Structure 1
Amino acid sequence: MLALVPANGRPLRLALLGAHCDDVEIGCGGVLLDLADRGALDRVDVLVATSTPAREAECRASLAGFLGTAPHAVRFGGLPDGRLPGHWDAIKTLLDAFARDTRPDVVFAPSPQDAHQDHRLLGELVRTAFRDHLVLHYEIPKWDGDLGASRPQVHWPLTEELVQRKFALLDEHYPSQRGHDWWRADTFAALSRLRGVECRSPHAEAFSCPALVLRPGSTG
């Protein structure tokens, strides 16, 4: 097991990418809660590609709940939901500008194997903007049944309490999603329990990692 700590020992700086306003919290909300509880976040920058004013308000309130007192900034692309492949240039421009403005230790993004076209495009393009960063691709349960497309290699163990808090915050701040049949506590708990089995933890969030560079550290 490796500790996720910057070389200089300071708290982490994260860049979070989502195609939709709830993607980040669904994909890595447990990690965010855990790091925030530990006071391990220096700064968090978030880019959400699609949005409406109502959804933006939900997202800002949700992220404030997940991140607590950690400094963070959220920007929205305002692009149409479900249509990102038709806005390839706009997405690339958003990503490039976001990468120039941030200095993250870790980038969280959707998977390039995700069956949803918006998620997939963002996952495919993230490493064109963040070429020298650790990128972890999160997974999102959905009716497409694509969770087997990319077997995760990285697991973040979670307690049952963190998993319960994750859904409570999602449900509190995203009333627009409550009508969906998959928007249930047991949906998210089932996935995190399965990922927990894979790393011998009560629960976990899991990620795929296209490239990981290891360097020897100081022992002094």
Structure 2
Amino acid sequence: MLHLTPGPGRPLRLALVGAHCDDVEIGAGGLLLDLGERGALAAVDVLVATSTPVREAEASASLAAFCAPVRPAVTFWGLPDGRLPGHWDEVKDRLQRFAASTSPDLVLAPSPADAHQDHRLLGELVRTAFRDHLVLHYEVPKWDGDLGAGRPQTYWPLSERLLRRKAALLHEHYGSQRGHDWFGEDTFLALARLRGVECRSEYAEAFSAPKAVLGWPADRAPAP
């Protein structure tokens, strides 16, 4: 359960799950930058399922920038891109071990409705590993045209300044991705502007939350 009171007096511990080295920052980079600036991050544990040495170097630097001033603890599995379903048993076992190694307030992961097989598998399995946590599934724009498939209904409002900072950091740290036609500031701002319209904000990142439990923090419970 996540008590929605982040801030200097109640910093959050996050668990971030990505199939690829840039997934987390694309899907939730604005949220991370916002929490970091507000002093609302206590600790960040990151799992990245597929990678190469070049991509790992990019992701390590990128995640450090997005999670500042907190230093994230990043685990790379090094599995092959596009082949996670062929490693189903290994993915499930490793994900269970990752979940047992952390105690997050909030888990951010790909959507089980994502068209990419790597994203989809992690999105399906993350809720079996994190049964007692709030899991928000982020979205990643791509050629497959699956935006909205997870029916996002949870929003994190963001300013244009933070969105441009997100895009600048992605461009700075992921040189291996700059040649892709979708990997650009215009794509990231366009999606965030649309999600902002949906929640009456300038910009926003959107998430799906198939199950959420609302409640009072123990120290602020209502009188019986």
TM-score range, shorter chain: over 0.9
**Contact 1:5-1:12 at 8 Å conserved across structures:** no
Tell me the residue number matched to 1:192. 192
Q: What is the deviation of 1:94?
A: 1.4
Matched, 1:142 2:142: yes
Rounded Cα–Cα distance in structure 1 between residues aligned with 2:63 and 2:154: 23
What is the CA-CA distance between 1:105 and the residue it aligns to? 0.2
Quick check: 1:218 aligned with 2:224?
Answer: no
Opposite residue 218 of structure 1, the aligned amino acid is A
Query: d(CA) in 1 for partners of 2:127 and 2:68?
Result: 28
Matching residue of 1:154? 154
Distance 2:60 2:4 in 1: 26
Matched residue SS, 2:44: strand
Distance of aligned partners of 1:162 and 1:69 in 2 relative to their CA distance in 1, 3 Å threshold: same
What stretches of structure 2 of length at least 5 have no aligned partner?
A: none
Determine if contact 2:3/2:214 at 8 Å carries over to the other structure: no
Aligned equivalents of 1:176 and 1:203: distance in 2? Answer: 27
CA shift at 1:184, angstroms?
Answer: 1.2
Letter in 1 for 2:47: L
Q: After TM superposition, give the deviation of residue 46 of structure 1 in Å.
A: 0.1
Distance 2:91 2:209 in 1: 22
Q: Which runs of 5 or more residues in structure 1 are unaligned?
A: none
Kindly, what percent of the aligned residue pairs are identical? Answer: 72
Which amino acid is the alignment partner of residue 140 of structure 2?
I
Question: Whole-Å Cα distance in 1 between the matches of residues 184 and 3 of structure 2?
Answer: 32
Post-superposition CA distance 1:118-137 (Å, at most 9, x none) = 00000000011000000000
The secondary structure found in structure 2 opposite 1:121 is: helix
Structure 1 residue 71: deviation in Å?
A: 3.3
For 1:96, the equivalent position in structure 2 comes to: 96
The alpha carbon displacement at 1:169 in A equals: 0.2
TM-score scaled to structure 1, two decimals? 0.95
Matches within 5 A, 1:51-200: 51-200=51-200
Letter in 1 for 2:59: C
1:176 & 1:68 partners in 2: Cα distance?
23
Aligned to 1:27: 27
Q: CA deviation at 1:204?
A: 0.0
Residue-by-residue CA offset, 1:108-155 (whole Å, 9 max, x unaligned) = 000000000000000000011000000000000001010121211100
1:190 counterpart letter in structure 2: A
- Following the alignment from structure 1 to structure 2, what is the Cα–Cα distance between the partners of residues 148 and 5? 28
> How far 1:10 moved relative to its partner?
2.5
